[in-house]
Chains A and B, each alone.
Chain A
């Protein structure tokens, strides 16, 4: 093959990051961008809590409050939570399945850049002075041209469309990767639980995101081209938006939480030093949750007036989801039971996750009861519920995953002392913030309202909630301090950094070389690496001889394509169709170049592999 080796320009420094198609580097890019948006969304949350700390305050004003709560929800879900999940997916999945990269490295890079520029476009609304303010659900007609004539919602519909392309590409990519690129012997029922979770999540992305795209396109047509989808005055139907949004929106909830379930499964099993209890029931429960997740969207619309039959059916379907979720909770508990548990930061986040998520699940079943929901609807009870599942579930899962896989991603162990400080401040801060909100909701405090009158029994609990929010902010800052101090330390993490690693990613160096596996490993059972270690081996059995490794070339095109979409977005928004045309021409031009010029890639020869090509 050496005779065919193509010389490919290798970039260094910034250009390396802008052109990379390596899943490990793209994972780091997702982490940096996702965490950046997490800080912005967190700052918005703190401002919301300052405004609500005491009754009848006017710290930010009512208009800004609406903008803050809209941007907080949108940013946290689409630009912080999902990218941080994509960071973990990119960093870990190819390693867990014994692959050298994802199925489509180029699309992987394109997915990152479209997400990034979609997110930047959405957040530029702050500087344009026209910020989305119709809530993250953007219900019509509040979000339509009649009642929201400025450009705020335009930033929402166009930013999310561009970011949504990236998410969809990621979903397709990881499904294809997990189906086609598993190492020899790694059958589906031997996949690590995190890989299973990402596989199912990717399927949810593929079948849920196009629904949102259509909804956003229709709303964009209403706003920019005077279409009539959601405008009742011209025959449109605003309830249609609710259906479209939640047919996407409910699977989206499971897109967020299933990866966290996967992380928790891996972390709990590793730090209990035990095989995951009930592996096949875990797989089945994950599939079932995903399946039921498509059948329950109207439980967000009980008060819309769909009638008792629809409400009853969606109510029962929603309660059914508690069954597979309960299976998972008990499996984690039985994994911990009798294990020799190590209380690392990652395992503390995982163990803290379990009771917190159960609380969110219980309020979920309460909300699933349609008659009771008429009381809870649009109150702080709902706010408490979804923050328990999203922060207490997903964000705890992400923190567990970051502390667990940090040495694999960066070759350095995070400081455990600072990690535990992060856990306790964030955990206590979280419960302080949101536990009282259950009762605020039951007392009747409405969500999404900029202030409240004194002497209704709201005052103390709101103050407690605000104090908790600051504590969570401190936890996040401690995490950042941990990251920066770790940066300065030598890169000395071993391959099996926790010594109890069970899955394939721990069988290779930390960080892994560019090509991940020098020889594709042979998988002989579930928990492949643990199995070899238990038989006294120090490395995996190779499934192929040492040879030349083929790698895809780096490319700048994904970045330029995304910039094209970014320019086109602004063109459409401000009705400059020439600008929009130029933007689209850039994007399609890059697609043309990509199609016409074949990527031959390059080879890493065996003699170069020992030099340890660094990440």
Chain B
């Protein structure tokens, strides 16, 4: 373990892949995201199977407000871009720029979460509660699982920013930043599918 490798100022070019531990972490994380893909795939399937069973609750077409969802989508997509900038800064060993981009990322993530909480609150006011119908249960489970992933990502990246302040950028901390960025892109991709399958398809039928 060359946790002290940076002490003499020589951080390798790809610090996240410099050690076997780092390479294992990145590979293992990709495999974990494979499992997450199946998890969300199943949630999507359940939603698609149940989305027409609205019972007495509001219909998706009258419930969803596309402008706000579109704003949330743009915020999340932008946060993916800023996390790319953070990883580029990591590769150039620009610790300060990296931290700044990570902060922008979690601020955008929090903005997204704020909009989502407002959206859910609004839906409940309109009689679309978790227990209203099979549609509502599967809607809140799918979108809520995604929201929980965003919340976890915000806390995780926040924690990593703290660690970078304390420990600096090393071959131990670099893989953590890198996998958190992969994670963030993943939840972004999931959202693109939610936007399409839940909101756009909900509007047209």
Seen from chain A, the residues whose Cβ lies within 8 Å of a Cβ on chain B are 4, 103-104, 107, 168, 171-173, 175-176, 179-181, 206-211, 213-215, 217-218, 221-222, 225-229, 231, 234-237, 240, 243-244, 247, 550, 592, 595-596, 598, 600-601
Q: Are B159 and A207 in contact (CB under 8 A)?
A: no
Closest to B36 in A: A210
Instruction: Name the contact of A210 in the complex, choosing from B39, B141, B163, B176 (C-beta under 8 A).
Output: B39
Q: Are A210 and B172 in contact (CB under 8 A)?
A: no
Given A218-B141, A237-B134, A595-B163: A229 touches B46 (CB 8 Å cut-off): yes
Q: Are A173 and B46 in contact (CB under 8 A)?
A: no
Cα A103 to Cα B175 with chains together (Å): 15
Cα A381 to Cα B16 with chains together (Å): 55
Q: Are A214 and B131 in contact (CB under 8 A)?
A: no
Given A4-B4, A176-B31, A240-B46: A235 touches B133 (CB 8 Å cut-off): yes
Additional A-B contact list (17), CB under 8 Å, known A176-B27, A181-B24, A240-B50:
A107-B28, A172-B28, A175-B31, A180-B20, A210-B35, A211-B39, A213-B39, A217-B141, A221-B137, A225-B131, A227-B130, A229-B137, A229-B141, A231-B134, A237-B134, A244-B42, A592-B159
B54 within 8 A of A: yes
CB proximity of B117 to chain A, nearest CB, Å: 18
CB proximity of B171 to chain A, nearest CB, Å: 11
Given A179-B27, A600-B1: A218 touches B46 (CB 8 Å cut-off): yes
CB proximity of A224 to chain B, nearest CB, Å: 11
Contacts of A206 in B (CB 8 A): 31, 34-35, 38
Contacts of A209 in B (CB 8 A): 35
Cα A243 to Cα B163 with chains together (Å): 44
Given A168-B35, A172-B35, A206-B35: A237 touches B130 (CB 8 Å cut-off): no
CB proximity of B82 to chain A, nearest CB, Å: 22
Q: List 16 A-B contacts (CB under 8 A).
A: A4-B1, A103-B24, A103-B28, A104-B28, A180-B24, A181-B24, A206-B38, A209-B35, A214-B39, A218-B46, A228-B53, A229-B137, A234-B133, A236-B137, A244-B42, A598-B167
Given A218-B141, A229-B50: A235 touches B27 (CB 8 Å cut-off): no
B61 within 8 A of A: no
Seen from chain B, the residues whose Cβ lies within 8 Å of a Cβ on chain A are 1, 3-4, 20, 23-24, 27-28, 31-32, 34-36, 38-39, 42-43, 45-46, 49-50, 53-55, 130-131, 133-138, 141, 159-160, 163, 167, 172, 176
Instruction: Name the contact of B135 in the complex, choosing from A225, A235, A550, A598 (C-beta under 8 A).
Output: A235
Closest to A598 in B: B172
Given A225-B131, A600-B3, A601-B1: A236 touches B28 (CB 8 Å cut-off): no
Contacts of B32 in A (CB 8 A): 172
Contacts of A237 in B (CB 8 A): 49-50, 53, 134
Closest to A550 in B: B1
Q: Are B163 and A211 in contact (CB under 8 A)?
A: no
Q: Is the interface of A mostly helix, strand, loop or mixed?
A: helix
Closest to A596 in B: B163
Contacts of A171 in B (CB 8 A): 31, 35
Cα A236 to Cα B55 with chains together (Å): 10
Contacts of B53 in A (CB 8 A): 228, 235-237
Closest to A217 in B: B141
Q: Are B24 and A207 in contact (CB under 8 A)?
A: no
Contacts of B46 in A (CB 8 A): 214, 218, 229, 240, 244
Q: Are B31 and A172 in contact (CB under 8 A)?
A: yes
Cα A240 to Cα B53 with chains together (Å): 13
Closest to B53 in A: A235
Given A214-B42, A550-B1: A595 touches B159 (CB 8 Å cut-off): yes
Contacts of A103 in B (CB 8 A): 24, 27-28
Instruction: Name the contact of A229 in the complex, choosing from B4, B134, B160 (C-beta under 8 A).
Output: B134
Closest to A232 in B: B134
Q: Are A214 and B43 in contact (CB under 8 A)?
A: yes
Given A180-B24, A240-B50: A228 touches B131 (CB 8 Å cut-off): yes
Cα A596 to Cα B42 with chains together (Å): 33
Q: Are A598 and B3 in contact (CB under 8 A)?
A: yes
Contacts of A550 in B (CB 8 A): 1
Contacts of B35 in A (CB 8 A): 168, 171-172, 206-207, 209-210
A180, A218, A235, A236: residue with the most chain B Cβ atoms closer than 10 Å: A235
Cα A209 to Cα B133 with chains together (Å): 27
Given A4-B4, A210-B36, A214-B43: A225 touches B130 (CB 8 Å cut-off): yes
Cα A83 to Cα B190 with chains together (Å): 33
Contacts of A240 in B (CB 8 A): 46, 49-50
Contacts of B50 in A (CB 8 A): 228-229, 235-237, 240
B49, B55, B136: residue with the most chain A Cβ atoms closer than 10 Å: B49
CB proximity of A600 to chain B, nearest CB, Å: 6
Cα A217 to Cα B138 with chains together (Å): 11
Contacts of A215 in B (CB 8 A): 42
Cα A211 to Cα B53 with chains together (Å): 22
Given A234-B55, A240-B49: A227 touches B131 (CB 8 Å cut-off): yes
Q: Are B159 and A176 in contact (CB under 8 A)?
A: no
CB proximity of B162 to chain A, nearest CB, Å: 8
Cα A175 to Cα B53 with chains together (Å): 40
Q: Are A235 and B55 in contact (CB under 8 A)?
A: yes
CB proximity of A168 to chain B, nearest CB, Å: 6
Given A214-B46, A217-B141: A228 touches B133 (CB 8 Å cut-off): yes
Contacts of B55 in A (CB 8 A): 234-235
Q: Are A226 and B131 in contact (CB under 8 A)?
A: yes
CB proximity of B14 to chain A, nearest CB, Å: 16
Contacts of B23 in A (CB 8 A): 180
Closest to B21 in A: A103
CB proximity of B27 to chain A, nearest CB, Å: 5
Contacts of B43 in A (CB 8 A): 214
Cα A225 to Cα B55 with chains together (Å): 18
Q: Are B34 and A207 in contact (CB under 8 A)?
A: yes
Cα A408 to Cα B109 with chains together (Å): 51
Cα A601 to Cα B2 with chains together (Å): 11
Contacts of A4 in B (CB 8 A): 1, 3-4
Cα A92 to Cα B39 with chains together (Å): 30
Cα A550 to Cα B1 with chains together (Å): 8
Closest to A175 in B: B31
Contacts of A595 in B (CB 8 A): 159-160, 163, 176
Contacts of B45 in A (CB 8 A): 243-244
Cα A403 to Cα B46 with chains together (Å): 45
Contacts of A231 in B (CB 8 A): 134
A104, A172, A600: residue with the most chain B Cβ atoms closer than 10 Å: A172
Contacts of B28 in A (CB 8 A): 103-104, 107, 172-173, 176
Cα A236 to Cα B53 with chains together (Å): 8
Contacts of B20 in A (CB 8 A): 180-181
CB proximity of A198 to chain B, nearest CB, Å: 14
CB proximity of A103 to chain B, nearest CB, Å: 4
CB proximity of B102 to chain A, nearest CB, Å: 15
Q: Are A211 and B24 in contact (CB under 8 A)?
A: no
Q: Are A229 and B42 in contact (CB under 8 A)?
A: no
Cα A181 to Cα B24 with chains together (Å): 9
CB proximity of A240 to chain B, nearest CB, Å: 5
CB proximity of A529 to chain B, nearest CB, Å: 24
